[in-house]
Amino acid sequence: MSYYVTTPIYYVNGEAHIGHAYTTFIADALARYHRLIGEDVYFLTGTDEHGQKIEESAKKFEKPTQQFADEISASFRNLWDEFGISYDQFIRTTDKDHMTGVQKAFEKMYAKGDIYKGNYEGHYCVSCETFFPETQLIDGEFCPDCGRSTSIVKEESYFFKLSAYEQKLLDYYEAHQDFILPKSRRNEVINFVKGGLNDLSVTRTSFTWGVPLPDSVGDSKHVMYVWLDALLNYITALGYGRDEAKMDFWPAQMQLVGKDILRFHAIYWPAFLMSLDLPLPKHIGAHGWWTRDGEKMSKSKGNVVSPKEVADVYGLENLRYFMMREVPFGQDGDFSQRALIDRINSDLSNDLGNLLNRIIGMSGKYSDFVIDSSDVMTYHKAEMEEVDAVLGSVERFLDEVQTHRFLEELWKLFTIGNKAIEAHAPWVKMKEGKKEEALALVALVANILAKASVLLHPFMPKTTATIADALGFAIDTNAYNDLVKGGKLLPTFTIKKVPPLFPRIEAPLMDQAPAAQPNAKEEEAPKKAKTEEPVEADNLITIDQFFQTQLKIGTIVEAEEVPKSKKLLKLQVDVGEEKPRQVVAGIREYYEAQSLVGTQVCVVANLKPAKLMGMVSEGMLLAAKDDEGLSLMRPEAPRKAGSSVG
């Protein structure tokens, strides 16, 4: 079988940030996993280098446009190489082969009648490379996606008949329920299409930095608009329009994108493929955005996270594990050093690293480092059945890119190993003269480590290679078939001593992000306060009064929109009681209902119940709101539902 996985091609208007790394880490883990299980894998990444925004950025830096694109593209490729990303091809939209393939696709669409010539007048956002109807603009001027000012563009253009594919797209979504992942994002795409699709402008004449139209069309003043050019990279990389050498890999099994470009990949891209008579990808997976310490990242704030800086300080594989474990796929994630340190110390050092250290120590004392699995099933059949149950269910989470659930379930194996050591106490067995039982326990844990390491390998390849070497085997497809699928145990081997894999970290190793600067309104407040009466003591509360408020951690188990309300969501929240509480919250403008399921929030638990639109609300969620929007207050790391806050 073959497996084709792609990242979006990253726009060369700046160097890679933590969001780019997240997408690429996931794609790399999926590629490594499918190679591990014996599939023929093709992994594509690259850079998107055409368009008006790139042309303008190059002028700003006083560089030729090609040179500017070369430098930024190289920074992405060099970082992925340094990170050991296992891509098979790094494509650039300035590659001659890519441009040839795009021109061939244009010719086919044009000959089919799906592309026609006309005139366009509309509001255009240079930053988003997108036209918007006036009805979608904020205050009649500003881009609904990025908030920047748009400009009215009037020019001759070629159009793609997107409107002709409206019903075909809806039919496809209905027939392929898992085309868009996570499934919670399906509705936003479907609703957009049901709202009516306008034909799409696919060429421009007001700039020249793009793919020219094919000679057969005979209109040299036009260049292709960035989305037609960019999206076609996924097939031009396989030889479309040229030698077709790798087109057997199409359709892609997984195409990963950020949620901000889901519409282009779930609507425009399928329509282009239908026009070209090509099958559609199996899945479009859209992940969320990353914030830093609860703040939106931006260059102006100076809080953009550099993945290289974090990897250099905390370790690349620690960063990979943290990002793919910390947040459910599709939801927004928050990067904080404290959360990263907690993962390293708890999951990696305590659970995984310590388990390896313990069996190295015990085998050294009891058997001169020799480990023999022959008695494992005699004494530990129950534990092995638990291990097999986890191994039999964990891989399904990767089909829906739920890396956090995959890693969460996989970690149950380390829990089984650590609990077995405490329950069977091999040091006591040795004192009692039950050496055979003690050595069987050590072998049990060694086999648990080996089996878990095989499946952890796509996420932490260097770490698991070290563990496997210590345990006397190599991680490859044979190991997967034998240890994970075949239920086999390790042959007798001599374990190697290795230094601790994950030294504990006691304090942050990087500078903290700059504190958020107050906005203009906040800056005026202290000045005004000087002319007002002093704050009365009655405005203050005592510590006893504060503790009358019960704040608890709650897990959202169900979420749905409230009909006829643009603001309210109805939530069922588990706060550690016999049944979940119903909380009606005015957060619909900021959160999709399904994106909240499974997340944790802070709940005011002793608030008197109130009725909102006829529905009882048994609590209130804590949230912070400023000029940039609303953000729910959440624990840094998962906590037991009902845990007290304060």
- What pLDDT, on the 0 to 100 scale, is given for residue 641? 82
Per-residue pLDDT tens over the stretch 430-466: 999 999 999 999 999 999 999 999 999 999 999 999 9
- What pLDDT, on the 0 to 100 scale, is given for residue 519? 46
pLDDT score of 128 more than 90 = no
- Using CA atoms, how far apart are residues 333 and 292, in angstroms rounded to an integer? 9
Q: Do domains 335-494 and 538-645 have the same CATH topology?
A: no
Q: Is 332 exposed, middle or buried (0-12, 13-18, 19+ CB in 10 A)?
A: middle
Strand partners, 573: 556, 581
pLDDT score of 469 more than 60 = yes
pLDDT score of 530 more than 80 = no
Residue 117: strand, helix, or coil: strand
Long-range contacts (CB closer than 8 Å, 24 or more residues apart) made by 622-626: 622/551, 623/587, 624/294, 626/519
- Using CA atoms, how far apart are residues 42 and 5, in angstroms rounded to an integer? 6
Per-residue pLDDT tens over the stretch 198-241: 999 999 888 888 999 999 999 999 999 878 999 999 999 999 99
What does CATH list as the number for 335-494?
1.10.730.10
Per-residue pLDDT tens over the stretch 250-309: 999 999 999 999 999 999 999 999 999 999 999 999 999 999 988 888 777 788 899 999
| Average per-residue pLDDT for the chain | 90
143 is in an annotated binding site: yes
pLDDT score of 532 more than 50 = no
Least confident piece of the model among 40-54, 194-208, 308-322, 618-632:
618-632
pLDDT score of 537 more than 70 = no
Q: Is 520 exposed, middle or buried (0-12, 13-18, 19+ CB in 10 A)?
A: exposed
* Domain spans of the chain, in order of start: 335-494, 538-645
602 is in an annotated binding site: no
Confidence of residue 523 (pLDDT cuts 50, 70, 90): very low
Which is more confidently placed, 568 or 310? Answer: 310
**Phi–psi pair at 287, nearest 5 degrees:** -100, 170
- What pLDDT, on the 0 to 100 scale, is given for residue 272? 98
128 is in an annotated binding site: yes
146 is in an annotated binding site: yes
User: Do the bridges between strand 2-6 and strand 200-201 make them parallel or antiparallel, or are there none, so unpaired?
Assistant: unpaired
**Phi–psi pair at 306, nearest 5 degrees:** -85, 120
pLDDT score of 633 more than 80 = yes
Tokens representing 353 are 């690293």
Domain boundaries 538-645, CATH class: mainly beta
Residue 219: strand, helix, or coil: coil
- What pLDDT, on the 0 to 100 scale, is given for residue 611? 74
Q: What is the mean pLDDT of residues 93-108?
A: 97
